[in-house]
Amino acid sequence: MSPTELLPLLAPYASDVPPALAAQLLLYLDLILKWNERVNLTAIRSPHDIVRRHFGESLFAAARLGPCSTLLDFGSGAGFPGLPIQLAHPALAVTLAESQGKKAAFLQEAVRTLRLPTEVWPHRVESLPAGRTFDAVTLRAVDSMPAAIAAASLRAARTLVILTTLAAQPDPAHLPAFAFDPPIPLPASDSSILLLAHRR
């Protein structure tokens, strides 16, 4: 894929993608496609769909983070949304938490190849040092979303950033310490949303 193919795919999600960011995203895409042949990083196989669904939705969230200096990507998988957020915000201190060994190894290789300062935490989030918190915690397509959100809320000093669907969105009553913004529909989707919840 070339930059001239990449940019129109990202246009609904990110209004401005500088050439350097586009080049890094293409390198990241190549890594995903190579590793996905032997490690099931993502069920989405089409490069165009990976760009739209994974890169686009991650950059959409990145543009709406607000003030933030530290971020935890909870259950990062192949790095979404944490790695595109790191690429879009190089000064942000991002930690990718992924307990599955092969996916964590991919994340370490991606961070090395892309020459990023990103930390990879190859264990469960619950095993992070007690009391370690982050300005923002992101969640997307994690197993057992309600339990993950409950655990993530303990690590979020300011904001929870949740990429989910209308049907699977959490009940704000279960997170009384957070105030939820209205859901933001994701481009090119009938049901996917971005939820921002701010600590009261």
The answer to whether 69 and 135 have CB atoms below 8 angstroms apart is yes
Report pLDDT for 145.
Answer: 82
Residues in the chain: 200
pTM of the model: 0.95
CB proximity list for 98: less than 8 A, separation 6 or greater: 75, 76, 77, 104, 107, 120, 121, 122
Whose CA is closest to 196, among 182, 175, 186? 182
User: pLDDT tens digits, residue range 36-71?
Assistant: 999 888 888 899 999 999 999 999 999 999 999 999
Q: At what angle do helices 19-35 and 101-114 cross, to 10 degrees?
A: 150
What number does CATH give the domain 3-199? 3.40.50.150
**Do strands 192-199 and 156-165 pair parallel, antiparallel, or not at all (unpaired)?**
antiparallel
Which sequence spans correspond to the domains of the chain? 3-199
Across 119-134, average pLDDT:
95
Whose CA is closest to 75, among 95, 89, 56, 55? 95
Residue burial 122-150, b: 16+ Cβ < 10 Å; e: rest:
beebeebeeeeebbbbbbbbbeebeebbe
User: pLDDT tens digits, residue range 76-89?
Assistant: 999 999 999 999 99
DSSP 120-139: EE-S-GGGSPTT--EEEEEE
The answer to whether 135 and 70 have CB atoms below 8 angstroms apart is yes
User: pLDDT tens digits, residue range 131-168?
Assistant: 999 999 999 977 788 889 999 999 999 999 999 999 88
User: pLDDT tens digits, residue range 6-20?
Assistant: 999 999 999 899 999
The answer to whether 153 and 160 have CB atoms below 8 angstroms apart is yes
